[in-house]
Structure 1
Amino acid sequence: MSEFAEELTRAVEASGLSLERIQRHLESRGVQVSQSTLSYWRRGRSRPERPESLSAVAALEEILRLETGALTGRLGDRRPRGRWVERTTALEGIWAAAAIDLGREIARVDHLLPVPARYLNVRDRASIGKDRREVEIRVSTVIEAFEDGVDRVLLAKTADGTDRSPGDVVAEGSCRLGRVRKDAEHKLLVAEIILDRVLRAGDTGLVDLRLLSDPGADSSRVDRTFLRPLRNYLLEVEFHPDAVPVRCHSFTKQGPDAPAVDTGELWIGTTAAAHLLVHEAQAGHVHGIRWEWE
């Protein structure tokens, strides 16, 4: 737990005030913060960084009868926003590991910052066409906000080496597409996905996308690199009835550059599809399905 969270917890307990009473005191000062956000701050699950959140912390010092700086002075510096931090904490949906300066690409999307939210469940459905090439990947996710005010997430998609381009992205259902930037040289796409409503801390939202492919060769695998721990992950591969591989295997890697480890053969059902279910996926690991045509 951070110094800020520990000090806030001590101050709340010493005051004898409930989070509901504290929220009302904040509202009387024109500061809007949900009880869920206050709870997350106390438990160290998130930290105030936005201007309105920092104003709330200053008001808390007054409400809890603390000296000026007792809370704000324990926040420390803002979380670093560099190349590797962005890669490990901000981006979701990277389909292939590559030594790409993602920080530079994010800067092209008007300096979007990491979103205070996590993915609870992810379902990927890859479609392979009659020509044995990947057509698209349909992505359905459930996210949970850590703070008030979450209204968008950031997606990054890298293409395989044989693909002609990073392809495209289409938002469906409960979200819409915002700004999109593409790097043709590195075959990288970065997109802003806007939710259908503004989430408060603890709220969940749905993100449904279609990642359109622009392949240039036969496909042989699909995988996801997990940048954060994930509770449940379902990967499905649907083959065209006239292009069914002879066998499918699941595999995992402990890191993008680690060797692939075969975790078992997968049954291709009568619908010409195979799937892989992963519970409690670990950050940094890769899980996927590969197949053989001959």
Structure 2
Amino acid sequence: MSEFAEALTLAVEASGLSLERIQHHLESRGVQVSQSTLSYWRRGRSRPERPESLAAVAALEEILQLSPGALTSRLGGRRPRGRWVERATALEGIWRDAAIDLGREITRVDRLLPAPARYLSVRDRALIGQDRREIEIRSSAVIEAFEDGVDRMLLAKTADDTDLSPGGIVAEKTCRVGRVRRDDEQKLLVAEIILDRVLQAGETALVDLRLISDPGADSACADRTFLRTVRNYVLEVEFHPAAVPVRCHSFTRSEPGGPDVETGELWIGTTAAAHLLVHEAQAGSVHGIRWEWE
């Protein structure tokens, strides 16, 4: 638990006030903060950083009868991040060789804050065509907001070495695509995904996307790298009935760039599809399916 979370918890307990009463006192001062956000601040699941959140912390010092700065001084410096990424340094560890170029793309986007949200579950379905090449990945995810006011998230898409370009992205009815930055040399696409409504802390939303592929050779793998731990991940690969591989297996890497660890043979059923299920996919890990045509 952070120093701020500990100080806030002790102050709330000492005051004898419930979160509902504290929220009422904040509202009487013209400060809007949900009980869920207050709870997340206490447990260290999120921290106030936006101007309106910092104003709420100053009001809390008064409500909880603390000296000025008793809470705000424990927040420390603002975390370096932009709405395009959870943190540029985290992405540098994920995409390595593309990191410099990714950082360059990120710095071109101004006045954006990160979406304080996490994935609860993700399902990816890769479609492989008759020519053995990947057509697209249809992705459906459930996200949960940590703070009030979450209205967008970040997606970064990389391509295989044999791909002609990073491809494209299409949003379904649950969201829409905002600003997009492409680096064709590094085969990298970074996109802002705007939700269909503004989330309050603890609320969830569905995000449905189509990640369009641009392969230059036979596809042999589908995988996902995780920036944060995801509770449940499902990956399904659906092959064209006229192009079914002879072998299919699941694999994982404990970190990007690390060696593949084969985790089991996968059965390709009568529907010409195979899938894997991962519980608690850890941050920084890679999970995927690989197949052989001959």
TM-score normalized with structure 1 length: 0.95
User: Where does 1:12-31 land on structure 2 (aligned, <5 Å)?
Assistant: 12-31=12-31
SS at match of 1:24: helix
Cα deviation for residue 80 of structure 1 reads 2.7
Aligned to 1:54: 54
What's the CA shift string for 1:32-67, capped at 9, x where partnerless? Answer: 000000000001110000011001001111111111
SS at match of 2:78: coil
Alignment check: 8 A CA contact 1:8 1:42 kept:
yes
Does 2:121 align with 1:88?
no
- AA aligned to 2:99 is I
What's the CA shift string for 1:119-154, capped at 9, x where partnerless? Answer: 000000000011111100001000000000000001
- AA aligned to 1:195 is L
Alignment check: 8 A CA contact 1:109 1:180 kept:
no
Aligned-residue Cα RMSD (Å) equals 1.9
Aligned to 1:120: 120
SS at match of 1:252: strand
Alignment check: 8 A CA contact 2:86 2:114 kept:
no
Aligned to 1:76: 76
Aligned to 1:160: 160
- AA aligned to 2:109 is V
Return 5+ residue gaps in structure 2 as ranges.
none
Aligned to 1:272: 272
- AA aligned to 1:75 is L
Cα deviation for residue 249 of structure 1 reads 0.6
For residues 271 and 9 of structure 2, the distance between their equivalents in structure 1, rounded to whole angstroms, comes to: 55
Alignment check: 8 A CA contact 1:90 1:115 kept:
no
- AA aligned to 1:293 is W
Aligned to 2:99: 100
Aligned to 1:185: 185
Return 5+ residue gaps in structure 1 as ranges.
none
User: Where does 1:248-287 land on structure 2 (aligned, <5 Å)?
Assistant: 248-287=248-287
Aligned residues: 291
TM-score normalized with structure 2 length: 0.95
For residues 89 and 212 of structure 1, the distance between their equivalents in structure 2, rounded to whole angstroms, comes to: 22
Summarize the Cα distance change of 1:208–1:87 in structure 2 as closer, same or farther, 3 Å threshold. Answer: farther
* Identical-residue share of aligned pairs (%): 79
User: Where does 1:105-254 land on structure 2 (aligned, <5 Å)?
Assistant: 105-110=105-110, 112-254=112-254
SS at match of 1:67: coil
Cα deviation for residue 185 of structure 1 reads 1.2
